[in-house]
A and B are shown apart, each in its own frame.
Chain A
């Protein structure tokens, strides 16, 4: 056989192998986490794990409710804060702004996206936490350390901003110019065009982007860990401390080796994150791919 064709075949084989191996990572990760968390299922039911608020690892009680609620609260605030800002910014940049404005804003978004989580954490402890503790909280409660759900939400909201804005920009600019022209030529203003045509046309994409941002927010660890206060209780207000799942894993993972069940419980926490994020990602990516296809 021709040596060149042999080379081609070998390369093909090697590449295929590498691709498949890297793809298998998804499955291996899921299975690995499941196997590791299996012991905790033997002692507790799934319902007990997810809906009990009893967290006493030393006594073998693992109720994840405080952590799940903490995660939901923080993520909810983050999305509620980031979504309007991101939507308005993206509309401004795609529909209104001149190119020189974009030239300054895009690098800023780049930087926001590139800053490591720990830097956001430092910023949060330096600025947001004292602000809540000194300025905001006294209006509502007697005392707050500032390490609260709200602080976590704000920091997290800023962290998902660049992701949301860049996804929205991508989605909006994929709408062909004809749609804008059609609406404008009927005498609509730019905002009417955006509201009735662009946003409507891209609604599935916008939802997908939000889901993607939620799944990013769910897994964020260090920054939230640094500003949330980490109390294993179900938060009741914005000014309570909370303890999101990633923070739980990060804080305890080193020291649990002596208790096998504890390790399994933490692995279960990782498994929850993995499953939820996987689910959200699959949905939103499939929607985004579809959207890309219909416009091209």
Chain B
């Protein structure tokens, strides 16, 4: 957390650091406050073993085996309809909401199988921040958008919420732009700001992973550049999994690349290796633009 913060040197942040040190009646150390959730130290890793997903007798994901490394940007690439988004949705089990779905195999998050066990799905989903393709601010004010997740998880103290909101809006580089209108509806923000708001909202519940489903495809080039830069900063503290259509984006920011085709993982490895020396014919063709 500390190094991530040092990357953000905005004056307002220094101000909270000072002002937040003492809250009457209890000691709160800022940025390591006794918020209920703090990103756990140590590895956060996803390991997928023999994952098969069927939706209404259609075999969507076939025998997926992959490890997602800690604190890296992992890009999942591949032509449309190859199961990228399905894989991403399996990671936070939003796939459960799909009608007629059947899941076989294991998805181990920090060694715990999230598919079979009767995991408390809500506290588990908290660990997986999701950024969707179209930014979707919840129908409330900017402030409440950030505070929503914290309130859900039981933080009601107004003072703490103020700190959290400011902190994560800063983290998403949005604070300066919105600090004067925190209580206006979030839909009035521009689309690029909305996406950063969504990012801040996910960060506010202290996830370990950030899942982004083509998070920049609806944005203008400038906003998507801002988001990309944020991702690069964030990877010091979070594992980021990015589904993307744009190869160039993957080239720019990926540390690790997974190439999928028709529901199978064709190739996975370090970005440099996959991009420069693809082992598989299909990967080669895809990278050279033979099919999209």
What residues of chain A have their CB less than 8 Å away from a CB belonging to chain B? Answer: 98-99, 176-189, 192, 196-197, 200-201
- With an 8 Å Cβ cutoff, the count of chain B residues facing the other chain is 29
User: Across the interface, do A179 and B99 meet the contact criterion of CB distance under 8 Å?
Assistant: no
User: Across the interface, do A187 and B205 meet the contact criterion of CB distance under 8 Å?
Assistant: yes
> Within 8 Å CB of A200, what residues of B?
138-140
B222 within 8 A of A: no
CB-CB nearest 5 A-B residue pairs? A187-B126, A185-B130, A186-B149, A201-B139, A178-B136
Question: What is the distance, in angstroms, from B149's C-beta to the closest C-beta of chain A?
Answer: 4
User: Across the interface, do A178 and B132 meet the contact criterion of CB distance under 8 Å?
Assistant: yes
- Main secondary structure on B side of the interface with A: mixed
- Main secondary structure on A side of the interface with B: helix
Contact of B152 (CB < 8 Å), options: A98, A181, A187: A187
User: Across the interface, do A185 and B129 meet the contact criterion of CB distance under 8 Å?
Assistant: yes
> Within 8 Å CB of A183, what residues of B?
138, 148
Distance of A186 Cα from B138 Cα, bound (Å): 12
User: Across the interface, do B205 and A181 meet the contact criterion of CB distance under 8 Å?
Assistant: no
Question: What is the distance, in angstroms, from B40's C-beta to the closest C-beta of chain A?
Answer: 15
User: Across the interface, do A188 and B92 meet the contact criterion of CB distance under 8 Å?
Assistant: no
Residue of B nearest to A98 (CB): B99
6 contacts between A and B (CB under 8 A): A183-B138, A185-B202, A186-B205, A187-B152, A188-B152, A196-B140
Distance of A185 Cα from B205 Cα, bound (Å): 10
Distance of A155 Cα from B193 Cα, bound (Å): 51
> Within 8 Å CB of B134, what residues of A?
176, 178
> Within 8 Å CB of A189, what residues of B?
122
With contact pairs A182-B198, A184-B125, A186-B126 given, residues A196 and B99 touching in the complex (Cβ less than 8 Å): no
> Within 8 Å CB of B139, what residues of A?
179, 197, 200-201
User: Across the interface, do A196 and B138 meet the contact criterion of CB distance under 8 Å?
Assistant: yes
> Within 8 Å CB of A188, what residues of B?
122, 148-149, 152
Contact of B122 (CB < 8 Å), options: A177, A187, A196, A197: A187
